[in-house]
Structures are given as structure tokens and as C-alpha cells.
Structure 1
Amino acid sequence: MSTAYTTITSKGQITLPAAARRALGLHAGQKVAVTVEDGRLIIDSPHDLHDVRARLREEAEAAGTWGTVPHAGDGWAAHVSAEHAES
């Protein structure tokens, strides 16, 4: 595919050219991954939720934020219950 150009709206939206959507197999309502690398905007079509989760974890670990947000099974509910019982 050759280079195509699009305009950013006042709301920060862009329209992906039809040729790009077809090349990536994208369709209306589909979620895509947006990444900035080396000053470039990269839009990926995630094929597997496992791949998306792995990439998010890798990015969070690199940023030092992995594990700082409570998630199911980490004992957070018990911690909150104990904290509220004390007050």
C-alpha cells in the first residue's frame, strides 16, 4: 500500500483510509492498538486477546507499573473489607 494522508479533527479523530482498513482486515467497531514508537504512530489489529494482554503487561512492567493496580484474586477485596471494618 502506498502512503495515504488523513486529517486530524478538532476531537483528535482520524479516518483510516479504506485501503489501510482492508490491508489490516479492520471493520467498524473493532478495537485496535495504538502505539507511539520512535516518533511514529502505529495502529495494530490485535488478532488474539492473549497477545494484547501480553503486550500491555510488557509495557506496564517496563514502566514499573505492573501490579500496582488491584486485580481479581490479589487479596484487595479482603484488604478493603478489613480497612472498612476498622473505621
Structure 2
Amino acid sequence: MTDAQPASTEPAPTEPAATDGAMSTEGTVLSEGTATDAEGEFDAMTARVAGIEARPLEERAAAYGGVAEELRAALEGADPEGS
């Protein structure tokens, strides 16, 4: 009879990913050294779109118009609120 070790309940360690501009799971640009919250922003936008999809058609059109304006302003570097 062999003395088998019980399986560990801890997750196996993972090797770090390549750092050639790849994003970490925390949304940090690894090779640039600049911390961002891109993943959090993506999750927030995903949740917002899911909420819009649950609305009636007329409300969806207006809500998507607001999202489009905010994205356009962000790309242009402007404040979407206009202040």
C-alpha cells in the first residue's frame, strides 16, 4: 500500500505572462510601467450595455446615443459632461 498525499486545495501557481505590451489581469500595462484601470472600465461599460439591452427599444436608442457621445468625448480627450 502506498502513502498517497492528499490533493492540495490551493490553486497551482501560474507563470507570469510575457510582458511585451500585454495587459495583466489587473489591467496594468506591464511593459509600459503605467498602471491603468482599463479592465475595470471595460467591465463597467459591459455592465452598462447589458442594462441598456434590458430597456424598451425607444429608451435603448437614447441610451446608446449617450454612450456614443461619452466615448467620442473620451477619444477626443474632452470631458463628456462639458465641464
- When normalised by structure 2's length, the TM-score is 0.25
Hey, which of these two has a bigger chunk of strand by percent?
1
Higher gyration radius (CA): 2
Structure with more relative contact order (C-alpha pairs < 8 Å, separation 6 or more)? 1
TM-score w.r.t. the length of structure 1 is 0.25
